[in-house]
Amino acid sequence: MHIRPIEFDDDATLRQMYDVVTASRAHERPHFVPSSADAVIADLRHDDPGETVLAWGLWEGDVLAGVTTACLTLNDNRDIMWVEVDVDPGHRRRGLGRAAVEHLVAFAREQGRTRLLTDARYPADRADGHPYLRFAESCGFRLAQTEIMRKLDLPVDTALLAEIADEARAAYEPHYRVEAYAVVPEGLRASLCDCMNRVGTDAPTGEIDVEPESMDPERYAGWLTVDAESGRARLTSLAIEQASGDVVAYTELALPAGNSRVHQWGTLVQREHRGHRLGLAVKAANLLALQADHPDRLDVITGNAHDNPWMVSINERLGFRPLELNAAFHRAV
Ligand SMILES: CC(C)(COP(=O)(O)OP(=O)(O)OC[C@H]1O[C@@H](n2cnc3c(N)ncnc32)[C@H](O)[C@@H]1OP(=O)(O)O)[C@@H](O)C(=O)NCCC(=O)NCCS
């Protein structure tokens, strides 16, 4: 087996990489709905000034048997390297995964990164001793936190969404207003980015400490260009403080092109604006917009830490039900 970099201008190898990662993620997960190859490749090729993403192929002769990736943020969390390892199910238990981790550790040292973070998804009833957990532990990682992934079948009863929206409105008016956008106007993006940058620090992250992120309007606009080019729709609902005109809460849904699934991305209410049902308000507003504008979508996937009862209770009320676990692992280098 040998490991070599995958260049992002090498279309043929990127498509092989997509096939390997899709086969790996679909293994024993019948509910997995992959994004299209074009969409995944568009994300990989995007040159975001705030992060560097690299990929390496694990080759057995001419066959691409596995893939590993690393993401290095450049303006925050400069001690961390986020990594992924995927081995094609037909090539597992031959040491490829372990070799990939050894490669990543050496690369992290070269880059001066002192922590590796990764995650893996598996069923809750196989949490004890699942192969991915055993792999992670045998490669020196520790389980840092377990999130529960939940699925919401669409459509949600619009009467329930209207009831939730009304209940929230009674708690946040007249100090705030809530708006849903397919594209957030430029004037609101700076305070939206301030909210986005706090998601990693304000949501429970178990044993893992992270710094605020550094998304800014310029980087955000770059990702909107990727959305437009790859056909991904993004729905963003915002709570805006009337007095300042600032975004103080947001939630985002991502709708990859060409499939039926929706992914819940970040949701946050700024600390000093909590307690006014703004989380509930933006979630209900976004689901109402989703159902009105994208009736072809069948379900939404979200993940919450078990020790985030506030977010979990909102999601359960909306109808999200447990699907699988997302286990976060970390390892010092
Ligand atoms: C996890 C994964 C990368 C392992 O790849 P792999 O090439 O099969 O791993 P290796 O052969 O290098 O295994 C290394 C060690 O992990 C443990 N391990 C791996 N698979 C295991 C299994 N099915 N059962 C028990 N232990 C297992 C063993 O300790 C093994 O060492 P050993 O073979 O000497 O006993 C692969 O299953 C995969 O792609 N999973 C899906 C993606 C994922 O979840 N990645 C992140 C995991 S942190």
pLDDT in tens, 215-252: 999 999 999 999 999 999 999 999 999 999 999 999 99
109 with 155, same domain: the answer is no
- Centre of ligand 1 from the C-alpha of residue 192, in Å: 39
- Given 113, 141, 159, the domain boundary residue is 113
Ligand 1 centroid – CA 134 distance (Å): 7
160 plus 242 within the same structural domain: yes
Q: Is 203 left (phi over 0), alpha (psi -120 to 50) or beta?
A: beta
pLDDT at 314: 85
**Token digits of residue 21:** 């990662």
Instruction: Specify the pLDDT at position 204.
Output: 78
Structure tokens at 47: 């040159």
pLDDT value for 99? 98
> Is residue 51 domain-shared with residue 163, that is, in the same domain?
no
Angle formed by the axes of helices 158-172 and 309-318, to 10°? 140
In angstroms, the CA 230 to CA 227 distance is 5
Q: Is the CB of 136 under 6 A from ligand 1?
A: yes
Q: 27 and 104, same structural domain? A: yes
Cβ of 120 below 6 Å from ligand 1: yes
Residue 98: CB within 6 Å of ligand 1?
yes
For residues 218 and 156, membership in a common domain is answered with yes
**Pocket-testing residue among 24, 93, 118, ligand 1, by greatest number of atoms within 8 A of Cβ:** 93
Domain termination residue (choose one: 88, 113, 138): 113
What is the structure's pLDDT at 163?
95
Q: Which residues pair with 84 in a beta bridge?
A: 69
Which pLDDT belongs to residue 207?
81
Range of the domain at 47: 2-113
Q: How many domains does the chain have?
A: 2
Which H or E run contains 281? helix 278-293
Let me know if 70 is exposed, middle or buried by CB neighbors in 10 A (0-12, 13-18, 19+).
Answer: buried
Rg (CA), the chain: 20
Element (H, E) at 285: helix 278-293
Q: Which two tokens stand for residue 53?
A: 């993403």
**pLDDT confidence of residue 272:** 97
Same domain for 183 and 309? yes
Q: Is 317 in the pocket of ligand 1 (CB under 6 A)?
A: no
Residues 299 and 186 placed together within one structural domain of the fold:
yes
Whole-model pTM? 0.94
Residue 68 belongs to some domain of the structure: yes
Q: 2 pairs with which residues across the strands?
A: 59
Apex 139 CA angle, 91 and 65, nearest 5: 20
Contact yes or no for 259/33 (Cβ under 8 A): yes
Contact predicate 276/171, CB 8 Å: yes
- Domain for residue 106, yes or no? yes
The closest-lying atom of ligand 1 relative to the alpha carbon of residue 99 is 12
Spacing of C-alpha 75 from chain mean position: 19
DSSP string of 123-180? -GGG-TT-HHHHHHHHTT-EEEEEEEEEEEESPPPHHHHHHHHHHHHHHHTTTEEEEE
Q: Are residues 75 and 7 located together in one domain of the fold?
A: yes
The pLDDT score that the predictor gives to residue 164 is: 94
CATH code for the domain in which residue 26 is found: 3.40.630.30
Cβ(116) – ligand 1 distance below 6 Å = no
Give the pLDDT means over successive 10-residue stretches in the chain (333 positions): 97 98 98 95 97 98 98 98 98 98 98 98 96 98 96 97 96 98 98 96 84 97 97 98 98 95 96 96 97 97 88 90 97 96
Per-residue pLDDT at 206:
79
E strands along the chain, which residues?
2-5, 51-60, 63-73, 80-87, 115-122, 142-153, 176-181, 233-241, 247-255, 261-269, 299-305, 321-332
CA distance linking residue 218 with residue 222, whole number of Å? 6
d(CA 212, CA 169) in angstroms, rounded, equals: 30
**The pLDDT value given to residue 205:** 77
CA of 136 to the centre of ligand 1 (A): 7
